Homo-oligomer: A and B are copies of this chain.
Amino acid sequence: MFAPVPRDHTYCFYRKTDKFGVQSDDTKICVVMVGLPARGKSLIAGKALRYLHWVGIPAQIFNVGTYRRMDTPHPAAGFFDPSNPEGERMRRAAVQAARSDLLKWFKEGRGVVAFLDATNSTKARRAWIHKCCHDKGIETLFVESTCDSEEIIMNNILEVKTTSPDYRGQDPEVAAQDFRNRIRNYEKIYETIDESEKSYTYVKLINVGSTVVINQIKDYISSRLVYYIQNLHIRPRSIWLSRHGESEFNLGSKIGGDSDLSVRGEAYARALPGLLKQSGIPAGAKLIIWTSTLKRTIQTARHLAAESGYEKLEWKALDELDSGVCDGLTYEEIAERYPQDFAARDEDKYNYRYRGGESYRDVVIRLEPIIMELERSENVIIVTHQAVLRCIYAYFHNMSQEQSPWMEVPLHTLIKLTPHAYGTEEQRFKANIPAVSTWRSKGSSAKHQASTDS
């Protein structure tokens, strides 16, 4: 009944068979970040890493600052002065250590995309990295972030002085001033990517993507990565996630289907506008409502749309995981009728696909455009289904494929996610309207199971 997909032969975008497909079998891409301090390089690398993990591509960040901090945990700005030979020597040692770990990581076959997160501010440095990679059959993709908006830079400086380990425990004002001086030291030697480097594959993000320059993109993964990066923005916003209200099928412990809301589900739909307001929406903020095309999510968002006048969109891609031949059955019935496959799904829930239906991996594939659009968007509330919500949630919290399909998402609860530079803040708001629990732990086929958080 369930068709297993071997894990190490699969990307989100497609199922690899003989080879990595559009990519050659031994695709290795080194993403080389380029930019002055406080230009969002680590933020971009961090988000891109999370995206790659989510689509199933093994990736890792090699941050030169981390290597440098092993020897010099709290350097003053003068350490970064290009005329300081001792600083220069130690910084070179750090980048060399990062480089050799990165090459080792590729050599051991541990992944497909490595990020070299550092300023890489000169043409000479970039040529050296390009040569090191090229000699080992590794493609390079340079990602430069430049910025002439004082406001954006100041916000980044404020962020850094409060979060960087370099300034831990220091007076914030002193830290900010020192950091400005550090930037000035880098500016002395900084060379932006230009014509002379047009043989490289690169993308330049100018003022957080308001202008984007893309040069010589050749392979599939780079193309997807660049499209992802060009959709990023840093305007403050939140994303709200909710399952539909309790449905008739939930009451009967049946999975799938396209049933109406139960009486209690309808009560949740009526409570949702208040719950959203209670969660806090910035004054004057615009919000868009996304639902699936199934009745239970449309009914759940009905009052929200009517009362608020917010725009509303139905996405087929937000429909529940298709359980194929098991659609309309209870877990008990599935366990009875297909005991072997029920056990096999428990074994690897992420990859197992219902006959005529989908796996979690399949759902991630069809959610990829949703994630792209979410990155482009500002405030969005998504009313969808348990499995789909798990996948979206896994993206924001960088959850593993082993963990996310088992995550508990109670009914009648609104989740508010607010992305920040270094992580996603989460708040949960319960409507206090009773509902059945639809959560099933590994190995269980219980009709209802007590929610762990109720």
Contact = CB atoms under 8 A, between A and B. Distances in A.
B311 A21 contact: yes
A22 B377 contact: yes
Given A17-B313, A17-B314, A211 B215 contact: yes
Contact of A313 (B22, B213, B256, B373): B22
Contact of A212 (B198, B214, B365): B214
Which of A211, A313, A369 has the most B CB atoms < 10 Å from its CB?
A: A313
A128 interface: no
Interface in A339-391: 355-356, 358, 362, 365-366, 368-369, 373, 376-377
Contact of A21 (B21, B220, B258, B313): B313
Interface in A173-220: 198, 210-216, 220
Describe A's contact surface by its main secondary structure: mixed
A398 interface: no
Contact of A365 (B14, B257, B316): B316
Contacts of A332: none
Contacts of A49: none
A19 B213 contact: no
A257 B356 CA distance: 7
Interface in A275-311: 288, 293, 305, 311
A356 B258 contact: yes
Contacts of A362: 316
B216 A315 contact: no
Contacts of A369: 13, 368-369
A227 interface: yes
Interface string A244-271: 0000000000001110000000000000
B214 A305 contact: no
Contact of A15 (B211, B293, B356, B368): B293
Contact of A210 (B3, B210, B215, B313): B215
A313 B16 contact: yes
A16 B3 CA distance: 35
A317 interface: yes
Contact of A220 (B327, B358, B373): B373
B317 A365 contact: yes
A144 interface: no
Contacts of A373: 22, 220
A357 to B, nearest CB: 9
Which of A14, A317, A322 has the most B CB atoms < 10 Å from its CB?
A: A14
A152 to B, nearest CB: 16
B216 A210 contact: yes
B356 A327 contact: yes
Contact of A211 (B21, B198, B230, B365): B198
Contacts of A21: 288, 311-313
A15 B315 contact: yes
A319 to B, nearest CB: 9
Contacts of A162: none
A18 B311 contact: yes
B216 A18 contact: no
28 contacts: A3-B293, A14-B314, A15-B293, A15-B313, A15-B314, A15-B316, A16-B313, A17-B312, A17-B313, A18-B312, A19-B311, A19-B312, A21-B311, A22-B288, A22-B311, A22-B313, A211-B213, A211-B215, A211-B216, A213-B214, A220-B373, A220-B376, A223-B231, A316-B358, A316-B362, A317-B365, A322-B356, A368-B369
Given A21-B288, A256-B356, A317-B365, 13 more contacts: A14-B315, A15-B314, A17-B305, A19-B311, A21-B313, A22-B288, A22-B313, A22-B373, A211-B216, A212-B212, A212-B214, A213-B213, A316-B365
